[in-house]
Amino acid sequence: MPSSIIKTENLTKIYSGNIKAVDNVSFEVEEEEIYGFLGPNGAGKTTTILMLITLLKPTSGKATVCGFDIAKEQAKVRDCIGYVSQDTAVDENLTGKENLLLQGRFYHLPKDILEKRINEVLEMVDLADRANSLVSTYSGGMRKRLDIAEGLIHRPKVLFVDEPTLGLDIQTRHKIWEYIQRLRIESHMTIFLTTHYMDEADKLCDRIGIIDYGQIKVVGEPNELKNQIGGDIITLRFTNETGSHANQAVEEVKKLSSIENVVPTKDSFNVVAKDGETTVPKIFEVASKAGATIESISLKRPALDDVFMTYTGRELREETGSKDDLMRERIRMRRARM
Amino acid sequence: MSILGDTWNVCWRELKRFRRQPARILMSIVQPIIWLALLGNMMQAITPMLGPGIRSYLDYMAPGIVVMTTIFGGVFGGMSVVWDRRFGFLNKMLAAPISRSAIPIGKMIASSLISALQATLILCAAIVMGANVATGPLGAVAVILIALVLCLMLSGISLALGAVIKSHETLMVVMNFLTMPLMFTSNALFPKNLMPGWLQTIADWNPITHTIEPIRTITTNGWDWANILPNVAIIAVITLAVMAIATWVFRRSIS
């Protein structure tokens, strides 16, 4: 039976001003799995990581990492974890190699082992040929790769990765995903990551915890979560003129035998149906009987977006948060270059 | 002891970073050199009032300018904490199993070593301009060591503030607000016995005065231990206290 390498019980963090960033969160991460926290910005993902890596004291609740209590055995926790922050905290005024050297020394690696490890991780993230260049000459993707390499230098049992591809372009993101997957296969590491990108969670994680407003809404394997939705997703939008007839029509739709669930969204309805293809014509039928005119209708297999929607009642828009973050990132970069 | 190794690693990083920014070295010594050239000539007329052993105002002010250089350098001790916090590097260090105290101590030592280097360059410039060091090369080394102690004190103040303030703009303003008055209420550029009584009292309490006193004794008089030792003892005690407080404030700010 696989054992839990991370375990939290009612972990809670309340910031001053009575802001509940993390609200009674309990979960377990098994050895050698990639576990992802999926949620919008401000959902409490980073706060959870900061507590698990001993940088933030929980307001209440308990957690252990590698079997050590995060509040009482901080030094032991730090020894067995690696941390890659969303800030891409590499020192621009040092070379890639110097950054790794410094990181390795922070973990008290003996000199000969450190030399070997540096070459190893540089190979792994394809930065060997740029090892002796200043990081200020690196692109965003290269910096992130170096950052990840730094997290690996001491071969931690658990690697915490906060938003690994924040602000990176699509190609670079795919590259980073490859590295993370390779990492797991080659090093048998447990990886705890957070993301607000659906595709990232879907592609990388063995299990996902959906987190919103500091609470875990659901935990499961991506496929399992998608199957749990219980059918295909039909998105239904009525014309403006339909008005109150729409609600009547929806009531009728709900009565159809193949319908599992109907979730109203801002301007449309999400219908979960067992057999989407044959349900669509039936929906047309009952809608027109109820006097409602359908403006548009679409049918798709469930994706993680829909899982998120089902459990939180709102859409996880990738743009909203990441734009702010991108801006922040850009300001950071600009300042760093001054 | 891992704290020594950790401290050295933190310090090593700062020194490496500094080496990569030649503009910073250059800019930090240009201003004091201009002061030396301008004030050295401007104030020449008050030379007779400065006391025995002083041939020119340049002789008198050189210790003051050397100390001024270390004061300005000390400000960076805290700046680097603010930067590291903003860029996430601080969290990265804290997530590693390094001694928490090693971070502030390493930074204070690094910023002091950098300032000592700058002070050395300024002292050399002053000597080239004609300033006297009565005790020769050994005296020059002693001057730099005393300046180094003061710099540890100032980078300690800066670091403690940086740990609390968290914005580099505010920190810069606060440090300027502190350093300029510290400078001008000391005997750095103007003899204490010519000051009004109340200002003399302030100068007596100002640690800068107690740094300049022994330095000036060494450069203009000689090894007058009765003057050097008590003053050095005063600033050494204050510096140790400030460093301890700064370390405590830093540790509090991260927990």
pLDDT at position A327? 56
Q: Indicate the average pLDDT of chain A.
A: 86
Closest Cβ–Cβ partner in A78, A94, A102 for B97: A78
Report, as an integer, the average pLDDT of B17-37. Answer: 86
* Domain span at A98: 4-225
> Using the beta-carbon criterion (under 8 Å), do A106 and B254 form an inter-chain contact?
no
Contact residues on chain B for A85, CB-CB shorter than 8 A = 88, 91-92
Based on the domain organization, do A122 and A267 belong to the same domain? Answer: no
pLDDT at position B1? 59
pLDDT at position A326? 55
Domain count, chain A: 2
Q: How many CB pairs under 8 A join A and B?
A: 67
Q: How far is B5 from chain A (nearest CA, A)?
A: 8
Q: Which residues of chain A are at the B interface, by a Cβ-Cβ cutoff of 8 Å?
A: 50, 53-55, 57, 75, 78-79, 81-83, 85-89, 91, 93-94, 98, 102-103, 105-108, 134, 150, 332, 336
Based on the domain organization, do A185 and A122 belong to the same domain? Answer: yes
Contact residues on chain B for A91, CB-CB shorter than 8 A = 13, 17, 89
> Using the beta-carbon criterion (under 8 Å), do B88 and A83 form an inter-chain contact?
no
Q: Determine, yes or no, domain membership for A13.
A: yes
DSSP A127: -
Token pair, residue B62, equals 């050189």
Could you give the CA distance from residue A73 to residue A54 in angstroms, rounded to a whole number?
9
Based on the domain organization, do A199 and A236 belong to the same domain? Answer: no
Q: Which of B31, B120, B40, B112 is nearest to B75 (CA)?
A: B112
- Per-domain boundaries in chain B: 2-254
Q: Determine, yes or no, domain membership for A295.
A: yes
Q: Determine, yes or no, domain membership for A315.
A: no
Q: Determine, yes or no, domain membership for A137.
A: yes
pLDDT at position A132? 96
pTM of the model: 0.84
- Say whether pLDDT at A323 is over 60: no
Based on the domain organization, do A238 and A214 belong to the same domain? Answer: no
The ipTM, to two decimals, is: 0.89
Report, as an integer, the average pLDDT of B133-141. Answer: 93
Q: What is the pLDDT of residues A189-202, one digit of tens each?
A: 999 999 988 889 98
Could you give the CA distance from residue A47 to residue A25 in angstroms, rounded to a whole number?
11
With CA atoms as reference, the chain A residue closest to B80 would be A91
Q: Determine, yes or no, domain membership for A96.
A: yes
Q: What is the pLDDT of residues B176-231, one digit of tens each?
A: 888 889 988 999 888 888 899 999 999 999 999 999 999 999 999 889 999 999 99
Specify whether the CB–CB gap between A221 and A30 falls below 8 A. no
Based on the domain organization, do A252 and A157 belong to the same domain? Answer: no
Based on the domain organization, do A211 and A197 belong to the same domain? Answer: yes
Quick one: chain B helix, strand, coil %, rounded to 5?
85, 0, 15
pLDDT at position B62? 92
Q: How far is A113 from chain B (nearest CA, A)?
A: 17
> Where a domain ends, among A225, A259, A292?
A225
> Using the beta-carbon criterion (under 8 Å), do B95 and A332 form an inter-chain contact?
no
Report, as an integer, the average pLDDT of A34-44. Answer: 89
pLDDT at position A318? 46
B244 band by pLDDT with thresholds 50, 70 and 90? very high
- Say whether pLDDT at B148 is over 70: yes
Based on the domain organization, do A240 and A185 belong to the same domain? Answer: no
Based on the domain organization, do A59 and A75 belong to the same domain? Answer: yes
Higher pLDDT among residues A87 and B7, named by residue: B7
- Say whether pLDDT at A259 is over 60: yes
Contact residues on chain B for A89, CB-CB shorter than 8 A = 87-89, 91-92
Q: What is the pLDDT of residues A120-156, one digit of tens each?
A: 999 888 899 999 999 999 998 899 999 999 998 998 9
Domain at A246, CATH number: 3.30.70.100
pLDDT at position A337? 40
pLDDT at position A1? 45
DSSP A23: E
Q: Which amino acid is at B244?
A: A
pLDDT at position B94? 95
- Say whether pLDDT at A275 is over 90: no
Based on the domain organization, do A124 and A213 belong to the same domain? Answer: yes
Specify whether the CB–CB gap between A307 and A230 falls below 8 A. no
Mutate to test the interface with B, among A93, A154, A337 (most CBs of B within 10 A): A93
Alpha-carbon distance values, A18 to A22, A39, A49, A59 (Å):
11, 21, 20, 11
Q: Determine, yes or no, domain membership for A312.
A: no
> Using the beta-carbon criterion (under 8 Å), do B9 and A83 form an inter-chain contact?
no
Specify whether the CB–CB gap between A260 and A230 falls below 8 A. yes
Q: What is the pLDDT of residues A159-184, one digit of tens each?
A: 999 999 888 888 888 888 988 888 88
> Using the beta-carbon criterion (under 8 Å), do A86 and B88 form an inter-chain contact?
yes
Q: Which amino acid is at B60?
A: Y
A3-7, A28-32, A216-220, A261-265: which has the minimum mean pLDDT?
Answer: A261-265
Based on the domain organization, do A33 and A159 belong to the same domain? Answer: yes
Q: Determine, yes or no, domain membership for A325.
A: no
> Quick one: which H or E segment has residue A262?
strand A259-264
pLDDT at position A335? 45
Based on the domain organization, do A187 and A275 belong to the same domain? Answer: no
> Where a domain ends, among A225, A251, A278?
A225
Q: What is the pLDDT of residues A281-322, one digit of tens each?
A: 888 888 888 888 888 888 888 888 888 877 877 776 544 444
Bridge partners of A216, per DSSP, are A211
Q: Determine, yes or no, domain membership for A296.
A: yes
> Using the beta-carbon criterion (under 8 Å), do B16 and A105 form an inter-chain contact?
no
Q: How far is B6 from chain A (nearest CA, A)?
A: 7
Domain at A214, CATH number: 3.40.50.300
Mutate to test the interface with B, among A54, A78, A106, A150 (most CBs of B within 10 A): A106
- Say whether pLDDT at B117 is over 60: yes
Higher pLDDT among residues B47 and A194, named by residue: A194
Higher pLDDT among residues A230 and A201, named by residue: A201
Specify whether the CB–CB gap between B116 and B215 falls below 8 A. no
